[in-house]
């Protein structure tokens, strides 16, 4: 039942698709030259069909950056707007991530361009030097077209991911500034005791903004480490036959899924590290993947639902005198609220009223 609930979330389904693509791509790359045709100029022991199958899954592996792109778009829409808006476009997200590289992979199989003499079957311009497998200029033109399409796709997805992550960072920073400006910065109308209230909410938002920026850095680093050696192999002839670059490419290229795993597990690790500072690395990893964390997450969900049913946001203002709510609204000028949605402003007002009420309660208890 818990797994069914987990897979019902759009984000989890997108992550599942990334994992499936990464597994297929890493498996194909891990076979190295084995599926290549058993001809004079190749080290392979397979045939053209096995090589075509390997090349297909290697090319399809570029759908993983596409899924990361749509996941970044989904995260941005969910944070900046509303999750239901993103859920409506989920079929389009899957199509955008898969169809471009799926079409290119099928095109490569149809034109029989996948080959390799020393590595995994894909586009190998050294193919022209193989006397027993010559295909003429058509192979070179189709192969260069596939390489160009892959390069454009990789650049496009990287640009979209960078923009989305930057927008997420800016959105969280703006919300942190609003909390600092309206809730935790006392006005003349608010009780002076608010000066001593720790900026917990603002601190959480500041941490979230920094984490989102670091998340972008780690993703770009993993992407660069994965594909740098392949790009160097294709576009710099001086290193094409370098043993060092060949070994580095063989090591890092199949690890794209592993880098994605580290990137996406990092926020959960940091959350557990902040909560359990005295735990070791192994204990935290065990906690992340254990059923205890799932149970704890379910308890948090139940607690949130309980709080929502007991204190719905729309009725919070009923807990306080109308004068408090109106006084806080009047203390915020039109110039200060420019660019702030009514929903965010309403939340800020109610939070400030709640803090003021708690401050007054503490003052009364201390005086007694």
Task: Please state, for a pLDDT cut of 70, what percent of the chain lies above it.
Answer: 59
State the Cα torsion 247-249-253-259 to the nearest 10°: 80
Q: Which two tokens stand for residue 8?
A: 């019902």
The residues pairing with 19 across neighbouring beta strands, listed in sequence order, are none
Task: Give residue-wise pLDDT tens across range 325-337.
Answer: 444 444 444 444 4
Which residues face 115 on adjacent strands? 122
The structural domains of the chain, ordered by start, are: 2-176+195-254 (1.20.1070.10), 317-367 (no CATH)
Cα dihedral across residues 195, 201, 207, 208: positive or negative? negative
29 by Cβ neighbours in 10 Å (0-12 / 13-18 / 19+) ranks as buried
With b for 16 or more beta-carbon neighbours within 10 A and e for fewer, the 304-325 pattern comes to: eeeeeeeeeeeebbeeeeeebb
18-27, 103-112, 264-273, 337-346: least confidently modelled range: 337-346
The answer to whether the CB of 337 falls within 8 A of the CB of 345 is yes
- Residue carrying the six token digits 């295909």: 135
Tokens matching residue 153: 């796709």
pLDDT tens, 286-319? 887 775 455 555 555 555 554 443 333 333 333 3
Q: Give dist(CA 236, CA 254) in Å, integer.
A: 21
Q: At how many degrees (to 10) do helices 322-330 and 342-367 cross?
A: 120
Write the CA distances from 191 to 187, 197, 327, integer angstroms. 8, 11, 12
Query: In angstroms, how far is CA 350 from the centroid of its own chain?
Result: 32
Q: Select the more confidently predicted residue: 250 or 143.
A: 143
- Return all residues near 153 (Cβ < 8 A) that are at least 6 apart: 62, 65, 66, 100, 101, 104
DSSP 11: H
114, 54 Cβ separation under 8 angstroms: yes
pTM of the model: 0.65
Residue 215 has pLDDT above 60, yes or no: yes
Between 363 and 101, name the one with better pLDDT.
101
Q: Where are the alpha helices (DSSP H) in 276-341?
A: 281-288, 291-310, 322-330
Of the pLDDT bands very low, low, confident and very high (cuts 50, 70, 90), residue 284 is: confident
Place of tokens 């609220």: 337
CA distance 231 to 194: 57
For residue 182, pLDDT over 90 is answered with: no
pLDDT given for residue 10 in this prediction: 80
- Name which of 61-75, 109-123, 220-234 the model is least confident about: 220-234
Cβ–Cβ < 8 Å for 54, 25: no
């Amino acid at each position: 039942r818990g797994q069914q609930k987990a897979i019902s979330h759009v984000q989890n389904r997108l992550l599942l698709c990334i994992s499936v693509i990464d597994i297929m791509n890493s498996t194909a790359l891990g076979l190295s030259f084995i599926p290549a045709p058993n001809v004079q100029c190749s080290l392979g022991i397979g045939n053209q069909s096995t090589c075509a199958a390997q090349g297909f899954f290697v090319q399809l592996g570029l759908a993983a950056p596409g899924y990361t792109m749509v996941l970044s778009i989904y995260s941005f829409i969910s944070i900046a707007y509303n999750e239901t808006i993103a859920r409506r476009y989920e079929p389009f997200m899957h199509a955008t991530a898969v169809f471009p590289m799926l079409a290119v992979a099928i095109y490569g199989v149809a034109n029989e361009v996948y080959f390799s003499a020393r590595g995994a079957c894909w586009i190998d311009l050294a193919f022209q030097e193989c006397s027993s497998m010559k295909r003429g200029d058509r192979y070179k033109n189709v192969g260069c077209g596939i390489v160009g399409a892959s390069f454009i796709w990789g650049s496009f997805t990287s640009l979209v991911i960078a923009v989305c992550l930057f927008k997420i960072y800016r959105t969280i920073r703006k919300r942190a500034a609003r909390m600092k400006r309206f809730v935790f910065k006392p006005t003349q109308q608010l009780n002076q005791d608010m000066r001593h209230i720790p900026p917990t909410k603002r601190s959480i938002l500041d941490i979230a903004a920094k984490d989102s920026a670091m998340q972008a850095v780690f993703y770009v680093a993993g992407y660069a480490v994965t594909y740098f050696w392949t790009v160097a192999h294709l576009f710099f002839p001086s290193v094409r036959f370098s043993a060092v670059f060949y070994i580095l490419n063989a090591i890092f290229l199949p690890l794209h899924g592993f880098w994605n795993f580290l990137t996406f597990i990092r926020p959960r690790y940091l959350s557990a590290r902040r909560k359990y500072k005295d735990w070791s690395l192994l204990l935290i990893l065990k906690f992340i993947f254990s059923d205890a964390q799932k149970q704890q997450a379910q308890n948090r969900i139940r607690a949130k639902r309980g709080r929502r049913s007991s204190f719905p946001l729309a009725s919070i203002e009923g807990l306080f005198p109308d004068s408090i709510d109106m006084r806080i609204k009047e203390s915020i000028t039109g110039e200060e609220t420019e660019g702030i949605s009514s929903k965010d402003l309403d939340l800020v007002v109610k939070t400030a009223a709640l803090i003021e009420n708690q401050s007054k309660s503490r003052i009364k208890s201390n005086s007694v």
